[in-house]
């Protein structure tokens, strides 16, 4: 069992990583619980696999569990589903000492965290992520949100969990497409923060593709450590944290234009990363060889390396609606070689459009 600490003063917490640790959930949260009431939020897919183990573990620790199941899918990360979970908490007379436990991928984590943030102005919240994407990214850092029909993650808060419990063994049931989805975020950390990690990913490509347990656990630990350091430095995204959005402005536009249905978040991010690399190349921030390394690693991992054939102008227009816009200017995260990235708001639309066009062929 390994621990990554997220140091945020009174909001500090531990990220505990270990095979089999999900069955120790009750024991790990019981002494942090301020009452014995737990709202367990999950979806039917994940609950069928891990629900019994989690409920038993909580009950054995003396906690009383009410389960709220949300239909599976990004389209249910909505205010309507948040309202239903709040209804459940009210019906069951949950007070402000109750605790929300999120059991699932990023959709469940974001939604359950959002409910925890707003119910009675905030109740305790525990993340038990079950996808690779949630292990390496969404469960850490306290970004919680639901989608607006016209824009992703538009309604949300920064609200840190009390503990994050990561069990890499649960990835055994994760479909291949979801595994790749999470790898997009792992690759992202290498590009923006750590060239050595990027090189390690290139070197360990085969064991990663084979999903060898020790290698995947190492990739998770390293990713969590990198994310923790960024969140500590900039919890509410005033500066450095925005680097974690590499590829996201392009990616969110693709997700929005395809109705959140066609591409997984990580796939859209991977397309966005390639586009950002092309743009960085055109600005002299990345050389052709570096952009090629990113493309080759993503391709080897089975991630997209092209944008879908959407209208480039429409992608631009959608990017201009993204919440990462500031004072009407596009703010883009661009790699500066591999292992470093910067935020630029001075790139003209023509260059962005050219990179989008290049990423489509």
* Partner that binds at residue 104, options ligand NAD, ligand GLY, none, CB closer than 5 to 8 Å by kind: ligand NAD
Binding to ligand NAD (CB under 6 A) within 167-206 occurs at 170, 173-174, 178, 181
Following CA atoms 125, 128, 133, 139 in sequence, which dihedral angle do they give, to the nearest 10 degrees? 20
Per CB under 6 A, the segment of 83-91, 135-143, 160-168, 261-269 that binds ligand GLY is 135-143
Active site residues: 121, 143, 185, 227, 237, 241, 245, 248, 252, 265
* Residue 107 interacting partner from ligand NAD, ligand GLY, none (CB closer than 5 to 8 Å by kind): ligand NAD
By C-beta, is 102 or 244 nearer to ligand GLY?
244
Size, binding site for ligand GLY by CB under 6 A = 5
How far, in Å, CA of 68 to CA of 78, rounded?
A: 14
Instruction: Give the full edge-to-edge strand order of the sheet including 37-42.
Output: 2-6, 13-17, 163-166, 124-129, 99-104, 37-42, 64-69
Chain centroid, CA 327 distance in Å: 26
**What is the x/- site pattern for ligand NAD, positions 36-55, by CB under 6 A?**
-------x-xx--x------
Do 144 and 160 touch, CB atoms closer than 8 A? Answer: no
Q: Is 304 in the site for ligand NAD (CB under 6 A)?
A: no
CB 159, CB 116: distance < 8 Å: yes
- Give the contact letters, 138-177, x = binds to ligand GLY (CB under 6 A), - = no: ---x-x----------------------------------
Q: Does 68 participate in binding ligand NAD (rule CB under 6 A)?
A: no
Nearest-approach distance from CB 241 to ligand NAD, in angstroms:
10
Sheet strands (E) in 43-162: 64-69, 99-104, 124-129, 143-148, 151-158
Q: How far apart are CA 77 and CA 99, in angstroms?
A: 20
**Using rule CB under 6 A, residue 153 touches ligand NAD:** yes
The residues, any chain, with a CB within 8 Å of residue 178's CB and separated by 6 or more, are: 105, 131, 132, 133, 264
Q: Which residues, at least 6 apart from 123, have a Cβ–Cβ distance to it below 8 Å?
A: 94, 96, 97, 98, 99, 100, 116
241 binds, among ligand GLY, ligand NAD, none (CB under 5 to 8 A by kind): ligand GLY
Contact flag: residue 322 with ligand GLY (CB under 6 A): no
Considering beta carbons, is residue 120 or 153 the nearer one to ligand NAD?
153
Q: How far is the CB of 248 from ligand NAD (least distance, A)?
A: 9
The reply to whether 227 sits near ligand NAD by the rule CB under 6 A is no
Q: End-to-end CA distance of the chain: give it in Å, rounded.
A: 45
Give the footprint of ligand GLY on residues 208-267 (CB under 6 A). Answer: 241, 244
Strands of 35-180 (E only): list them: 37-42, 64-69, 99-104, 124-129, 143-148, 151-158, 163-166
Residues binding ligand NAD (CB under 6 A): 43, 45-46, 49, 72, 74, 77, 104-108, 110, 130-131, 133-134, 137-138, 141, 143, 153, 170, 173-174, 178, 181, 265
């Amino acid at each position: 069992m390994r621990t990554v600490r997220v140091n945020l003063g009174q909001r500090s917490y531990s990220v505990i990583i270990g095979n089999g640790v999900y069955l120790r959930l009750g024991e790990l949260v019981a002494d942090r619980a301020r009452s014995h009431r737990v709202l367990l939020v999950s979806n039917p897919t994940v609950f069928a696999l891990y629900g019994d183990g989690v409920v038993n573990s909580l009950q054995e620790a003396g906690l009383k569990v009410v389960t709220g199941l949300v239909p599976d899918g990004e389209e249910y990360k909505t205010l309507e589903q948040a309202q239903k979970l709040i209804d459940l908490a009210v019906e069951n007379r949950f007070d402000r000492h109750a605790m929300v436990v999120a059991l699932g991928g990023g959709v469940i984590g974001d939604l359950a965290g959002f409910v925890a943030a707003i119910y009675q102005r905030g109740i305790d919240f525990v993340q038990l992520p079950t996808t690779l994407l949630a292990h390496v990214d969404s469960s850490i850092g306290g970004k919680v949100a639901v989608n607006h029909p016209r824009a992703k993650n538009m309604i949300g808060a920064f609200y840190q969990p009390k503990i994050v419990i990561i069990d890499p063994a649960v990835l055994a049931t994760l479909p291949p497409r979801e595994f790749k989805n999470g790898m997009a975020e792992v690759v992202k950390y290498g590009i923006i923060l750590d060239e050595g990690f990027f090189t390690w990913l290139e070197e360990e490509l085969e064991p990663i593709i084979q999903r060898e347990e020790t290698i995947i656990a190492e990739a998770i630990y390293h990713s969590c450590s990198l994310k923790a350091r960024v969140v500590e430095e900039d919890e509410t995204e005033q500066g450095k944290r925005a680097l974690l959005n590499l590829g996201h402005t392009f990616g969110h536009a693709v997700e929005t234009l395809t109705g959140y249905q066609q591409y997984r978040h990580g796939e859209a991010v991977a397309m966005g990363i390639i586009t950002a690399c092309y743009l960085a190349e055109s600005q002299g921030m990345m050389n052709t060889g570096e952009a090629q390394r990113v493309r080759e690693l993503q391709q080897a991992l089975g991630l997209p390396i092209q944008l879908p054939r959407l209208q480039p102008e429409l992608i631009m227009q959608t990017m201009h609606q993204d919440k990462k816009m500031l004072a009407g200017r596009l703010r883009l995260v661009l790699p500066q070689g591999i292992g470093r990235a910067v935020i630029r708001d001075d790139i003209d639309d023509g260059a962005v459009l050219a990179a989008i066009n290049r990423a489509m062929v």
